[in-house]
Amino acid sequence: MFSTRRVVRIEWGDCDPAGIVFYPRYFAMFDHSTVLLIEQALGMRKLQLYDHYGFGGYPSVETQARFHLPTRYGDDVEIETVITKVGRASFSLQHRLTLGGALAVEGNETRCWVVRDDSRPGGLRAHPMPDDVAAKFRA
Amino acid sequence: MFSTRRVVRIEWGDCDPAGIVFYPRYFAMFDHSTVLLIEQALGMRKLQLYDHYGFGGYPSVETQARFHLPTRYGDDVEIETVITKVGRASFSLQHRLTLGGALAVEGNETRCWVVRDDSRPGGLRAHPMPDDVAAKFRA
Amino acid sequence: MFSTRRVVRIEWGDCDPAGIVFYPRYFAMFDHSTVLLIEQALGMRKLQLYDHYGFGGYPSVETQARFHLPTRYGDDVEIETVITKVGRASFSLQHRLTLGGALAVEGNETRCWVVRDDSRPGGLRAHPMPDDVAAKFRA
Amino acid sequence: MFSTRRVVRIEWGDCDPAGIVFYPRYFAMFDHSTVLLIEQALGMRKLQLYDHYGFGGYPSVETQARFHLPTRYGDDVEIETVITKVGRASFSLQHRLTLGGALAVEGNETRCWVVRDDSRPGGLRAHPMPDDVAAKFRA
């Protein structure tokens, strides 16, 4: 399955008065890792995807995280993201955020491939993923 | 079990280029709801808790959310938060975010009651919740 | 000139490891106050403005803030926002954030009234404000 | 004067429904650039500074930004930060955020060197910067 990794420096503004990362920030980090993985897997920028595939995005359907160790301002954490499942109209990813090799946060999420549903304003509905997308996610 | 509810106006800065709430923001909303519930249940502000109970906080151990419907800038959503389980050293909460009565986001999280662990710098360890805290959470 | 005020509870996630508001968060608070003021002055929601006036928004051209006193988690601050100047294609606002009556943060910003510029993708250009908008801002 | 530069990828979560960076996010980027510059100038991490200099931080006293061009999701912007003035108990910095060489956002801020003021809880007061700090900032 396709995977990617990156190093993130924990910023002062990521942390709360307890001196540790305010946990919603981890989801922002994971979201960006997901974006980067998809761009790398499909070989184009997120905004190009809309034109290329005529789709409406890949919103999160469910997300979950376990917090094993806190991380703090100045820490250089590594986030490894891997596609764990490719379904018909959805796919799942796992994020492992480590600090010095120790697992600090583990995240799992499922995304849905959607197209615009013109039957209602701003409407979106699930749609089977194109074959080449599924193949590239499995690579 | 103790519960609370509040209305939140979705702000421009909560939303992403797709025009819907950037989902890490939901966790920030849920976190604030958790703080408010605990303050109401225990009858004091979060910062007073540290002195009163000589403890180190109630960090998130695990959190999970399902996204049923998107919400958008200007929406007035209601968040209902309820304690779903009171354990020995941990407790769980559920958040239900609704828009016009329809369930948009459902969140579940488990928090741990911790005290400072002076055997290592910045250390924290799980500790049984005081009886009065458990009783008030169950009220 | 049109003005508005609101009370904001400082959230845990607004604060940094020094225990005080991470100052970029003040700009998010001011931005929301600006949105609310404009909605109240013009009598419609921000998203309706785009259709009603056929315009492209009112982006910030310049913003500035002075930090007099820190504010902390749990503080209930008041933000008073007033339009200070109505120009041909721009307008200025002042935000005064107070805690217990004492001035904590003072913000000043200038916004530009823009319309879409179809000569380039995503283009925007300044455009004179409609007369009724200027009149309502001066009310 | 001491200066530094870095490249920042604009993230999806940095942008608003207009598809451009929600401007409070620029201040978070500038804040991190300031932290990095100070760490590089003084040769130690921010948290070490507190022990080494026995001080209370360098909070922002005033900040200001001009927005010349919008930036969007996926843009790789460059932020150049330079110390523009070293006073007795304060110093100023300028941030220039460019996209493809064009100036998009210009920020100017003044920070104050503070020490703890034990005459009131959580108190801080301005204090002359150590000579070696001033010398390193001017390098």
Find residue A103's DSSP bridge partners: A98
Chain D residues 83-112 with a CB less than 8 Å from chain C: none
Q: What are phi and psi of D34, to 5 degrees?
A: -65, -45
Q: Which residues of D touch A32 (CB under 8 A)?
A: 11-13
Residue of A10, A22, A35, A46 to mutate, testing the D interface (most D Cβ within 10 Å of its Cβ): A35
For β-strands B3-9 and A124-126, DSSP reports them as unpaired
pLDDT at A40 over 80: yes
Contact C35, C28 (CB under 8 A): no
pLDDT of residue C26: 98
pLDDT at C115 over 90: no
With CB atoms and an 8 Å threshold, state whether A45 touches D74: yes
Rounded Cα gap, residues A20 and B59, in angstroms: 10
pLDDT of residue D117: 83
Amino acid at D124: L
Chain D: list its partners (3+ Cβ pairs within 8 Å).
Answer: A, B, C
The C-alpha of A43 sits at a distance from chain D's nearest C-alpha, in angstroms, of: 14
pLDDT of residue B80: 98
Rounded Cα gap, residues B41 and A68, in angstroms: 27
Sort D139 into a burial class: Cβ within 10 Å, 0-12 / 13-18 / 19+: exposed
Q: What are phi and psi of D127, to 5 degrees?
A: -150, 140
- In tens, the pLDDT along B82-102 reads 999 999 999 999 999 999 999
Closest CA to A109 of A98, A96, A99: A96
Q: What is the DSSP letter of A69?
A: S
Closest CA to B66 of A126, A62, A93: A62
Residue B71 tokens read as 């919400």
How many CA within 13 A on the CB side of residue D27? Answer: 21
Closest CA to B113 of B98, B124, B103: B124
Rounded Cα gap, residues C59 and C31, in angstroms: 10
pLDDT of residue A117: 83
Contact A81, A105 (CB under 8 A): no
Query: Any chain B CB within 8 A of the CB of D11?
Result: no
Query: Any chain B CB within 8 A of the CB of D51?
Result: no
Rounded Cα gap, residues C82 and C94, in angstroms: 5
- In tens, the pLDDT along C37-66 reads 999 999 988 778 888 887 888 999 999 999
The pLDDT confidence band at residue C4, using thresholds 50, 70 and 90, is: very high
Query: Any chain D CB within 8 A of the CB of C43?
Result: no
pLDDT of residue D99: 97
Contact C57, D19 (CB under 8 A): no
pLDDT of residue B30: 98
Contact A15, C17 (CB under 8 A): yes
Contact B41, B136 (CB under 8 A): yes
For β-strands A90-99 and A76-86, DSSP reports them as antiparallel
pLDDT of residue D45: 84
Residue of C22, C25, C73, C75 to mutate, testing the A interface (most A Cβ within 10 Å of its Cβ): C22
The pLDDT confidence band at residue C118, using thresholds 50, 70 and 90, is: confident
- Compute, in degrees rounded to 10, the torsion defined by CA atoms C74, D22, C116, C40: 0
pLDDT of residue A139: 85
The C-alpha of A63 sits at a distance from chain B's nearest C-alpha, in angstroms, of: 5
pLDDT of residue C59: 92
Rounded Cα gap, residues A67 and B64, in angstroms: 11
Residues in chain B with pLDDT values less than 50: none
3-state helix, strand, coil in chain D (%, to 5): 25, 40, 30
Query: Any chain C CB within 8 A of the CB of B32?
Result: yes
Query: Any chain A CB within 8 A of the CB of C23?
Result: no
Residue B100 tokens read as 């016009």
Please, what's the b/e burial string for C18-49 (b: 16 or more CB within 10 A of its CB; e: otherwise)? Answer: bebbbbbbbbbbbbbbbbbbbbebbeeebeeb
Contact C46, B74 (CB under 8 A): yes
Nearest CA in chain A to C15: A16
Rounded Cα gap, residues D58 and D39, in angstroms: 12
Nearest CA in chain B to C34: B12
pLDDT of residue D46: 78
Contact A77, A27 (CB under 8 A): no
With CB atoms and an 8 Å threshold, state whether D45 touches A74: yes
Catalytic residue among B16, B31, B118, B131: B16
pLDDT of residue B18: 87
| Cα–chain center distance at D115 | 19
Residues in chain D with pLDDT values less than 70: 122
Question: What SS3 class is residue B40?
Answer: helix
With CB atoms and an 8 Å threshold, state whether D31 touches C19: no
The mean predicted confidence, pLDDT, of chain C is 93
Rounded Cα gap, residues D88 and A46, in angstroms: 48
Rounded Cα gap, residues C35 and C57, in angstroms: 11
Query: Any chain B CB within 8 A of the CB of C35?
Result: yes
- In tens, the pLDDT along D8-31 reads 999 999 999 988 999 999 999 999
| Cα–chain center distance at D111 | 8
pLDDT of residue B75: 95
Chain B: list its partners (3+ Cβ pairs within 8 Å).
Answer: A, C, D
Tell me the residue length of chain C.
Answer: 139
pLDDT of residue B46: 78
Q: Is C75 a catalytic residue?
A: no
- Tokens 């950037």 label which residue? B22
